[in-house]
Structure 1
Amino acid sequence: MGIKKQMGMGIMSAALGLSLIGGGTYAYFSDSEQTQNTFAAGTLDLSVDPTTIVDVDELAPGDEIVRDFELQNGGTMDIRKVYLETDYMVNDANGDNTGDFGEHIQVQFLYNADKTDEVVFETTLADLKDMSPEAVNESIFYPEFGEQGLESGSRDDLVVKFKFIDNGEDQNQFQGDSLQLNWTFNAEQGEGEEK
């Protein structure tokens, strides 16, 4: 056999071998599966009952009003922190106010009635308005709820006492005045966790 024939046979053998190797790749068994995955976000749902905590007339210096209200977590996630923002408007009936009526309204947050009447935190409406929401949480809600916060599906009663401070001085400027108090409760979840 000539060299050309041997080379031709070698090339044909190599081509046949490559075609068998390539064809053999498609001869293996194979299978595939798909998975269906879901990511669903939880909910935070903080509510206050009643929505009007205090509505009182005819206040005089020295008068006290005790009211209780309930914070409810109707969401699927635990609430770790509750922030309270305070705002108020004073209606000066006679136009003679030289002071802020909010400085004369003392606020005491008490442990709920099931526990004790111990004061958790005490301040005036004016000072409460100037506090940061984080400071309010640390002073009022953290002592009440502790580390666990307000768990999903739970509720907690809070008691608040308002007092028109009798400072022993002339407070005639506040006769007939009214104060519209707005409290905004904001809930925040805790840190994420491994699921």
Structure 2
Amino acid sequence: MGIKKQLGMGIMSAALGISLIGGGTYAYFSDSEQTSNTFAAGTLDLSVNPTAIVDVDDLQPGSSITRNFELQNNGSLDIRKVYLESAYTVNDAHNNNTEDFGEHIQVQFLYNADKFDEVIFETTLAELKDMSPEAVNESIFYPEFGEQGLEAGSVDDLTVKFNFLDNGGDQNQFQGDSLQLNWTFNAEQGESEEK
């Protein structure tokens, strides 16, 4: 190889090396921004006051008792539907019951404390226990609250009258018996809306 060729190759190699070094060290401007978003879930908080439904001694056929319940929506979301699950147990004092004591306790759901004569729905504890929560909502809470449900921060009264039905027959089997009633209120949120 001649000297001219070697010199030409050396110059080309040097030029290539310089271009690689220069190409790797160029500078440019940049900028970045970060956004921060918060997504907070709303709350459903249905509370009932008082929590004891009925605590009555010495009921007799034909007697009744009325109780007011305050349904409170303490959450940040509207409650569209309220479901009620009803359960009870009977303590048969003399082990002589041939009938279910719950069939003799009538439950009347009234519009509010000012209108005791306006019944929303009427059934027995035995029938109420077997009803689906959806049927209870349609029969009791929808007529009371309507389509708007129970709005966030609102309070509504539910008045219930319990009647020990006098069937005109011998009800001696229920003497000394007690019935433990448990109601569970479940809330379902209202329609979602675009924020």
How high is the TM-score relative to the length of structure 2? Answer: 0.85
Structure 1 residue 31, shift from structure 2 partner: 3.0
Secondary structure at the counterpart of residue 176 of structure 2: coil
Conserved in 1, the CA contact under 8 Å of 2:66 and 2:160?
A: yes
Residue equivalent to 1:71: 71
- Equivalent AA in structure 2 for residue 151 of structure 1: E
Distance 2:117 2:79 in 1: 25
2: distance between equivalents of 1:77 and 1:125? 31
Aligned residue identity for 1:62: G
- Deviation, structure 1 residue 114: 4.1
Cα–Cα, structure 1 residues 116 and 99, in superposed 2: closer, same or farther, change >3 Å?
Answer: closer
Q: Please report how far the alpha carbon of residue 116 of structure 1 lies from its aligned counterpart in structure 2 after TM superposition.
A: 5.9
* 2:77 and 2:190 in contact (8 A); partners too: no
Instruction: Quote the residue 2:56 is aligned against.
Output: 56
State the secondary structure of the residue aligned to 2:84.
strand
- Distance in 1 (CA, whole Å) between partners of 2:115 and 2:171 is 36
**Does residue 1:193 correspond to 2:193, yes or no?**
yes
Q: Describe the SS at the equivalent of 1:88.
A: strand
Q: Percent identity?
A: 82
Task: Write the mapping of 1:115-126 to structure 2, written as runs, cut at 5 A.
Answer: 117-126=117-126
Q: Which residue identity does 2:42 align to in structure 1?
A: G
CA-CA distance at 1:54 after TM superposition: 1.4
Local SS of the residue matching 2:48: strand
1:9-158 mapped onto 2 (5 Å cutoff):
30-114=30-114, 117-158=117-158
* Offset of residue 113 of structure 1: 1.9
Q: Which residue of 2 aligns with 1:5?
A: none
- CA–CA distance in structure 2, aligned partners of residues 68 and 111 of structure 1: 11
Cα displacement (A) at 1:30? 4.3
Secondary structure at 1:180 match in 2: strand
**Secondary structure at 2:122's aligned position in 1?**
strand
After superposition, give the CA deviation of every residue in 1:77-98 in whole Å (9 maximum; x if it has no partner). 1111111000000000111100
Counterpart-to-counterpart distance in 2, 1:114 and 1:79: 24
Partner amino acid, structure 1, of 2:79: I
In structure 2, the partner of 1:4 is none
**Unaligned stretches of 5+ residues in structure 1:** 1-21
Deviations 1:141-173 (A, max 9, x none): 111111111111111011000000111111111
- TM-score normalised over the length of structure 1: 0.85
Q: C-alpha offsets along residues 109-162 of structure 1, whole Å, 9 cap, x if unaligned?
A: 000124563100000000000000010011101111111111111110110000
Q: For 1:172-183, what aligned pairs fall within 5 Å after superposition?
A: 172-183=172-183
- Deviation, 1:192, is 2.0
Q: How far apart are the structure 2 equivalents of 1:115 and 1:58?
A: 27
Work out the CA distance in 2 between the residues paired with 1:58 and 1:36: 64
- Please say if residues 53 and 181 of structure 2, whose CA atoms lie closer than 8 Å, have aligned partners that are also in contact: no
Partner of 1:159: 159
Cα deviation for residue 69 of structure 1 reads 1.1
